Structure 1
Amino acid sequence: MVDDEDSFAGDVRSGMQTDLVVRNEEVVFRGDDAAEFTVIRSQIESDGRTAPVMFAQVRGGQPSVVCVTVRADGRLLLVRHRRIATDSDEWEFPKSMGEDGQIAGDTAEHEVLRETGIRPLSHRTMQMIHAETCKLRDSVAVVEVKVENDRADAAALNDPRLQWLDREEFDAMVRAGNISDGVTLSAYLIWSLRADD
């Protein structure tokens, strides 16, 4: 039989327990690289019961961005990256953990320029999302970044990591399981629903 404390801890971790007070937070690990990957342990209390909860953040919890890069003809940019955490090559929208002192739109433009060499024409922040609400303290700005067709074509010719897709091609890649990055998939859904706003 599960005791009351174990049941309470499970309810806290699952999100089922909602009347919670955070009593303290302590850093139990902080990486020394640019991401500043940090693990935090919180002591949660409700009705006199307590439970520990651990979660992670990067760059001090500052907002990151995902860039839905769009040409005038409506084609979208995917960039292929080697991801060590999943030991896989992934097609993704350009992303950044954020730049100190920059708003999300400026960070998005900087990231598109850095990854592709294409200077954006404009940007529009569409929505904020959380990549994983249970174990990550994060917020991600979904930013639409507009670019010119001719510069996009030139960049793609010079870099096999870049791929421009229309909506049908993008949808086919999703159906085939060739796009598995959750932030990219979420950003595509938001952009698809709000592109004409």
Structure 2
Amino acid sequence: MTVREDRFERPDGSRGLYGVVDKPDFALVIPAEDGGFHLVEEYRYPIGRRTWSFPQGSFPAGRTGTPEDLARAELAEETGLRAASLTRIGYLHGAHGVTGQGFHVFLAMGLEHGEPDREDTERDMRQAFVPRREFERMIRAAEITDAGTLAAYTLLHLHEHGTAGRRDEP
């Protein structure tokens, strides 16, 4: 991750200074089965509390691969789940006012259960299967506040109703 300040010219010709955070794209996975989802919960330092989300992450420094490779790796690492089917349902930007970082959203189905292989920074991570109705209750109760998870759930809803458009990544 790098943080920089850019001097730039706006479309109206005025000049400005903009703070930008550069981070690599990540993958977010919606592990769905039996009318619900597998979620992970971990402590998030910037907000000072634990929070639930769909599994997500980026490659460690020096490692590369396709977005699908990354999605499969994050799913297995954080939950121990392996997906027979992985469908890309979109690409989004989470905070385009601060960063160009985007994320690939995948729907994982046909799940095989195994043991997670979490990184040291994820040792306190918990996981749970949550029925869809409970997931929606958690959103309404602000127990799920992760913007990526909420946006991915919207894409899933559109995908399920045949109205999801696919945006190719840049």
TM-score (norm 1): 0.69
Give a deviation string over 1:12-41, Cα, whole Å, max 9, x none.
xxxxxxxxxxxxxxxxxxxxxxxx243342
When the two chains are superposed, the root-mean-square deviation of aligned CA atoms in Å is 2.3
Partner residue in 2 for 1:94: 55
Task: Give the unaligned 5+ runs of structure 1.
Answer: 1-35
The correspondence for 1:67, drawn from 29, 45, 50, is: 29
Secondary structure at the counterpart of residue 98 of structure 2: coil
Task: Give the unaligned 5+ runs of structure 2.
Answer: 117-123, 163-170
Secondary structure at the counterpart of residue 100 of structure 2: coil
Alpha-carbon distance in structure 2 between the residues aligned to 1:101 and 1:160: 24
Partner residue in 1 for 2:146: 181
| Greater helix fraction, Structure 1 or Structure 2 | 1
Q: Which has the higher contact order (CA 8 A, sep 6+)?
A: 2
1:129 aligns with 2:87: no
Partner residue in 1 for 2:135: 170
Which entry has the higher C-alpha Rg, 1 or 2? 1
Partner residue in 2 for 1:148: 111
Alpha-carbon distance in structure 1 between the residues aligned to 2:111 and 2:58: 25
> What pairs up with 1:40-51 in 2 under 5 angstroms?
40-46=5-11, 48-51=13-16
Inter-CA distance 48–91: structure 2 relative to 1 (3 Å threshold): closer
> What pairs up with 1:30-45 in 2 under 5 angstroms?
36-45=1-10
Identity percentage over the alignment?
A: 23
Give 1:67 deviation, angstroms.
0.8
Give 1:101 deviation, angstroms.
2.7
1:52 aligns with 2:14: no
Give 1:160 deviation, angstroms.
8.1
